[in-house]
Amino acid sequence: MVTALLAAGPVYETPARWRVASSLVLSLFGLGVSIYLTIDHFAKIPLACSDTGLVNCQKVTTSAESHFLGIPVALLGLVFYVVMTAINVPPLWYRADRRIHLFRLALAAVGVLFALYLVGAELLIIGNICLWCTSVHVITFILFVLILSTVVPMLGWGSGDAAEEY
């Protein structure tokens, strides 16, 4: 029922081109970093990163928190950005199927929530920060803001001015 409610209805506006392009570019950046982190995880190569002080990529990426439910976080990030990149290609942004935009929004929300968890783990459990991971977190956050501010008006949630370009 909820799915039906969410999926029903029109798409009220077309996203601005800069938003579409930005989401794709950010996704590609995130994908690139995720690939690098995944290679590092499986090939055990040293990351190009400081290893002194608060910033210590190696310590973070080899910590117990580098796995989530037994799955390497780097791999989860890679899968996330593969899907995110795929769904942020322009043709899918311009599709009128609300489910696509809902999925994109949900994915971005899950991404930012997981990023928050990882930031918490870095700061409070591991005690170090990984700059490469942080760059992914920042990209995920910006994507979240971008997608949220684009999709909500597209779906017409809480807005009466459906055609107003955000």
Partner 1 sequence: MAETDGPNRSQDAKERSRQQSRAVSGKEAARGVSGKPGAGQKTAPKPGTKGPAKGPQNGTAPQGGKGAGGKGGQRPPRPGTRPAAGPRRGRTALWIWGSVALVVVVVVVLVVIKVTSGGSGTGTTPAAGPVPASVTHDVTNIPTSVYNTVGVTSPTVPVNPPTVVGGGSGGKTPPPLTYDGKPGVFFLGGEFCPYCAAERWSIIASLSRFGTFSGLQTMQSSSTDVAPNTPTFTFANAKLTSPYVAVNLHELYGNQRNSAGTGWVVLKPLNKTEQALVKKYDKGDTATSSGSIPFMDIGNKLVTQGASYSPTILQGLTRQQIAANLSDPSNPATKAIIASSNYISAGVCAINGGKPATVCTSKGVTAATKALNLGS
Note the residues at the interface with partner 1 (CB under 8 A): 4-5, 7-17, 44, 46, 51-54, 56, 58-59, 62-67, 90-91, 93-99, 112, 116, 119-120, 123-128, 141, 144-145, 148-149, 152-153, 156-165
In the bound state with partner 1, the residue whose beta carbon lies nearer, of 79 and 96, is 96
CA 31, chain centre distance (Å): 10
3-state secondary structure of 48: coil
- Given a contact cutoff of 8 angstroms between Cβ atoms, the answer to whether 118 and 61 are in contact is no
In the complex, least distance from residue 64 CB atom to partner 1, rounded to whole angstroms: 5
In the bound state with partner 1, the residue whose beta carbon lies nearer, of 35 and 142, is 142
**b/e map of 116-131 (b: 16 or more CB within 10 Å)?**
eebeebbeeebebbbe
In the complex, least distance from residue 91 CB atom to partner 1, rounded to whole angstroms: 6
The count of other CB atoms within 10 Å of the CB of residue 20 is 20
- Given a contact cutoff of 8 angstroms between Cβ atoms, the answer to whether 40 and 47 are in contact is yes
In the bound state with partner 1, the residue whose beta carbon lies nearer, of 27 and 150, is 150
In the bound state with partner 1, the residue whose beta carbon lies nearer, of 79 and 145, is 145
